[in-house]
Amino acid sequence: MLHPKLDKYFAEIEKSIKRIKNCNVELYNEEILGYNRINLKIRVRFEEGSLFEISEAVISDEDQLKHLGYRYHFQNKENQLIFRYDNTPHYPNVETFPNHKHLPGKVIESVKPFLADVVNEIIVFME
């Protein structure tokens, strides 16, 4: 049995991933750690070689979801970073610490994005 908020979240993620065209899901791993906690790992490979990886640890706390950790990584076919959002606490001087966004050659402030927004960013980039 899984908390209804987490069930709904899984459905939203699957809906977002299905919006991405010309790709294959290489990995989809839902690890259910209890009624209110999940870990999620997804790897999406585009036909032209780019890669999108999702990694999340999520709990349902009362009636809201809380991300204990997240990483949304997008790279080109040459394995070069396009962008990555994460909350690894390694940039304490970023105003949105621990949340931030990696771009080629720099790290910028960023709140935790919704996965649907990250997917939109990728779709626009790939057009």
Tell me which amino acid residue 19 is: R
pTM for this model (two decimals): 0.93
User: What pLDDT is attached to residue 15?
Assistant: 92
From residue 18, alpha-carbon distances to 23, 51, 54, 87, 118 in Å are 9, 15, 14, 25, 13
- Residue 47, exposed/middle/buried by CB under 10 A (0-12, 13-18, 19+)? exposed
**Residue-wise pLDDT tens digits, 18-57:** 999 999 999 999 999 999 999 999 999 999 999 999 999 9
Query: Could you tell me the residue range of the domain that residue 12 belongs to?
Result: 4-126
DSSP 94: S
Residue 65 CB coordination number (10 Å): 16
Q: What percent of the chain has pLDDT over 90?
A: 88
- Whether the predicted pLDDT of 61 surpasses 90: no
Mean pLDDT of the 78-102 span: 97
Number of domains in the chain: 1
